[in-house]
Amino acid sequence: MQLLEFQAKELFREYGINLLDSISSTNIEDGRKHAKELGYPFVIKIQVPVGGRGKAGGIQKCQNDDEFELKYPQVMDLTIKGEKARAILLEKMADIKKELYLSIFLNRSKRCYTIIASAEGGVEIESVKNQIIKEVGLGDVSDELAREVAKEMELEGNTAEQFVDTLKKLSKLTIEKEAELVEINPLAIMQDNTIMALDGKFVTDDNSNFRHPELQQYQEKTAIEEQAEKSGFSLVELDGDIAVVGNGAGLVMSTLDMLSDNGGKPACFLDVGGGATTESVYEALTLISQLPRVKGILVNLYGGIVKTTVVAEAFLKAYENNLIDLPVFSRLKGTESEKAKEMLQGSRTNIFDSVEDAINAAVMGIKK
C-alpha cells in the first residue's frame, strides 16, 4: 500500500527525520482548531495517494482566517486522478534555500535496494537531474557511503552532516518497515541551513504485512475489497460496466485488455486465484453483485483440470438465490464443457469456446 503524506511523515517523525510542524484533519471544525494552534502562514495540503497534487490545486498557501475558510473546503472537494481527499494537512510555511531529492527504493531488475539522490529536487523523479545512484543490497547504508553521497551532491559542513544523518535514518526506516519505496521530495535546505523533509512518500511490501501490525492502521480498504481478500481473491474496482472475472492475474489482465480493445469498459478486475470451484465462483458473483454500475459479467476461466460443470453450478445457484440477475458471458476451458452448456441452457449465462467470442457477445449484449 501507498501511505498518505501525513502517514509517511508520522513514520519519519518516529525515526527522527526533521519535519516542519503540521497537523492533519478530516473536517473544517478540527481544521480551524489546528489553524489556531499552528498560526499563519501555513500551507493546506490535500492528502491523496497519488502524485501531481500541486498542479491540480491541492496545495494552497494560507495567510489568514478568510483564506482558510475559502480554501479548506475547496481543497477538500478536489478529486485528483480519481482520488478524493482522505484528509487535509496543515503545515507551517517553509523558508527554503534549496530543494534536494532523496529516495531508497527496491530496484527490481538489480534485485537490491538503491539510493537515488540529487541536489536538484522538487520536481517529479522522471525530471530530476544529475541523479546519484547507489546500490545498497538489502538497504543498509554505511556512514561512509552516506558521506560519499553528500559529497557528490556538493553538500558541505553542517548541511552535509544533517544529510548523512537523514539518509541513515531513511535506510533504517526502509529496512525495519520493509518498504518498497521511501521518498523525500523535496528534502529542503532551509534558510537557517537545517534540513527538512517537506514531502513524504512511502510504499510498503504488502506481502510482509503479517510482520507489521503497526502499519495496518494505514490500511485503507473498502468493505468489498476486504471481503475479496478474505476469500483469497484480488479485486481492483474500475469505472466501467462489465465485471471481469478469471483465474490468474495474467489471464484477467489479458481479458481486460481484450475487452478494452473491443470497446468494452471493465467494472472490475477480479482474480479468483488458481483453481475454480463452485464456492469460489459463487463468492466471486457475490462480490460482483455489490459493485455499482455492473450490467454484465465476463468470465474467463482457464482450468486444465477444472470441471466446467462445477462452475455452471455456481451460476445456476446465483440465479436461483437471486444473487444476480445479470447476463453472464463466459469462456470456460476445461473438461465436460458440453454438459455445462446443457446445464445452463435457458439461463442468462452464455458459454463460449473462445474468449474473443465471449468478449464480443458481452460488448454487444451490454450495448442493447
Hey, which residues are catalytic here? 101, 183
Closest CA to 280 of 315, 255, 249: 315
Distances in Å between the alpha carbon of 51 and those of 68, 108, 302, 349? Answer: 23, 21, 37, 42
Cβ–Cβ under 8 Å, residues 21 and 42: no
Q: Which of 21, 37, 50, 156 binds other proteins (CB under 8 A)?
A: 50
Virtual CA dihedral for 8, 101, 83, 299, nearest 10 degrees?
Answer: -90
Compute the least distance from the CB of residue 240 to other proteins, in Å: 10
Binding characters for other proteins, 184-213, by CB under 8 A (x = yes): ---------------------xxxx-xx--
Q: Which of 8, 46, 80, 258 binds other proteins (CB under 8 A)?
A: 258
Which segment (65-73, 269-277, 311-319, 360-368) binds other proteins by CB under 8 A? 269-277
The smaller minimum CB distance to other proteins, of residues 231 and 260, is found at 260
The smaller minimum CB distance to other proteins, of residues 41 and 52, is found at 52
User: What's the DSSP call for residue 240?
Assistant: S
Compute the least distance from the CB of residue 363 to other proteins, in Å: 14
Helices 157-177 and 5-14 meet at what angle, rounded to 10? 110
By CB under 8 A, residue 230 contacts other proteins: no
Which segment (64-72, 163-171, 217-225, 252-260) binds other proteins by CB under 8 A? 252-260
Grid coordinates representing 129? Answer: 537531474
- Residues 169-204 as b/e (b if ≥16 CB within 10 A, e otherwise) read bbbebbbebbbbbbbbbbbbbbeeeebbbbbbbbbb
**How many residues contact other proteins, by CB under 8 A?**
51
The smaller minimum CB distance to other proteins, of residues 156 and 229, is found at 229
Grid coordinates representing 305? Answer: 483440470
d(CA 173, CA 178): 8
Which segment (14-22, 156-164, 251-259, 286-294) binds other proteins by CB under 8 A? 251-259
- What is the amino acid identity at position 309? T
Closest CA to 350 of 332, 323, 325: 332
Binding to other proteins (CB under 8 A) within 85-144 occurs at: 106, 108-109, 111-112, 124-126, 138
Binding to other proteins (CB under 8 A) within 133-172 occurs at: 138
Cβ–Cβ under 8 Å, residues 137 and 111: no
Within a 10 A sphere around the Cβ of 9, how many other Cβ atoms? 24
User: What's the DSSP call for residue 41?
Assistant: S
The smaller minimum CB distance to other proteins, of residues 2 and 289, is found at 2
- What is the amino acid identity at position 13? R
Q: Which of 114, 145, 241, 248 binds other proteins (CB under 8 A)?
A: 248
d(CA 115, CA 102): 7
By CB under 8 A, residue 250 contacts other proteins: yes
The smaller minimum CB distance to other proteins, of residues 55 and 211, is found at 211
Binding characters for other proteins, 320-359, by CB under 8 A (x = yes): -------------x--------------------x-x---
Which segment (61-69, 190-198, 233-241, 360-368) binds other proteins by CB under 8 A? 233-241
d(CA 214, CA 307): 43
Cβ–Cβ under 8 Å, residues 149 and 118: no
Q: Which of 227, 231, 260, 278 binds other proteins (CB under 8 A)?
A: 260
Residue numbers of the site for other proteins (CB under 8 A)? Answer: 2, 49-51, 106, 108-109, 111-112, 124-126, 138, 178, 180-181, 205-208, 210-211, 234, 236, 238, 246-254, 256-261, 266, 269, 271, 274, 302-305, 333, 354, 356
